[in-house]
Amino acid sequence: MIKDECHGAEIEKDVLTPILQRAVSFLNDDMKIRVVSQSLQVICPKKVELKKNTSMIGTGGSIQVIITMSYEDALLEELVKAFLEGEEAAEDEMDEIRESVSSEFVNTVVGNALSNPFDGTTLTITPPVLIYEAKSLFRHKSSAIAAASITTSFGDILLTVIGPKESFADTLQFKEL
């Protein structure tokens, strides 16, 4: 991941940090998957490399961003096991179950993490979409990306928030690449 810094304190504090904190607590407490480390930064690269399994969800209302969670295979398999809670599933159903778990994880985390600190209005979220084998996210010149990573004992999650520059802060000094 390219680490061009931009100072998006509002998006970091009000959107990315709550999602990161809820993802970590959901992994540790609900899924019983140990989080080894986490990092948070607001970046403005032209491109962010994704992992093979990526789920995407959007927000509506006065905060309009796209949120992605990108999982390594081994971690997604552990999430599937945790969601199945010991139930057996047929092999021919596993792709659909992986899609469902990946989407449900991002839906649960984002739905429980976000409130609207800016104007008190209701935020809506779109249904999650699973993107198979996406390679990268490209930043449009009028957008910005905030990213966080979570390392578990089974692999990493890359979390991104993508939105228009004005969603991040009014006084940012973006470095255009």
Where in the chain are the domains? 13-168
First to last CA, the chain: 14
150 token code pair: 């979570």
In this predicted structure, what is the pLDDT of residue 171?
Answer: 34
β-bridge pairing 155-164 and 47-49:
unpaired
In this predicted structure, what is the pLDDT of residue 138?
Answer: 63
In this predicted structure, what is the pLDDT of residue 43?
Answer: 61
For the chain, the average pLDDT equals 78
Q: Return the bridge partners of 52, or none.
A: none
In this predicted structure, what is the pLDDT of residue 124?
Answer: 84
Q: How much is the pTM?
A: 0.79
When pLDDT is cut at 50, 70 and 90, the band that residue 46 belongs to is low
Residues 51, 70: contact at Cβ < 8 Å? yes
Residues 14, 119: contact at Cβ < 8 Å? no
pLDDT digits (tens, 9 = 90+) for 129-151: 888 666 776 666 666 778 888 99
Find the mean pLDDT for residues 150-163: 90
The domain defined by 13-168 folds into Chemotaxis protein chec (3.40.1550)
Lowest mean pLDDT, pick from 65-69, 122-126, 129-133 = 129-133
Largest CA distance in the chain: 53
| Strand, helix or coil for residue 54 | strand
Highest mean pLDDT among 54-68, 91-105, 137-151: 91-105
In this predicted structure, what is the pLDDT of residue 60?
Answer: 83
Find the mean pLDDT for residues 110-126: 75
107 token code pair: 């839906």
- Give the separation between CA 157 and CA 70, rounded to whole angstroms: 5
In this predicted structure, what is the pLDDT of residue 88?
Answer: 87
Tokens 């779109």 correspond to 126
Q: Return the bridge partners of 159, or none.
A: 69, 148
Answer with the residue of higher pLDDT: 159 or 63. Answer: 159
pLDDT digits (tens, 9 = 90+) for 69-95: 998 999 999 999 999 988 888 889 998
- Give the separation between CA 20 and CA 148, rounded to whole angstroms: 7
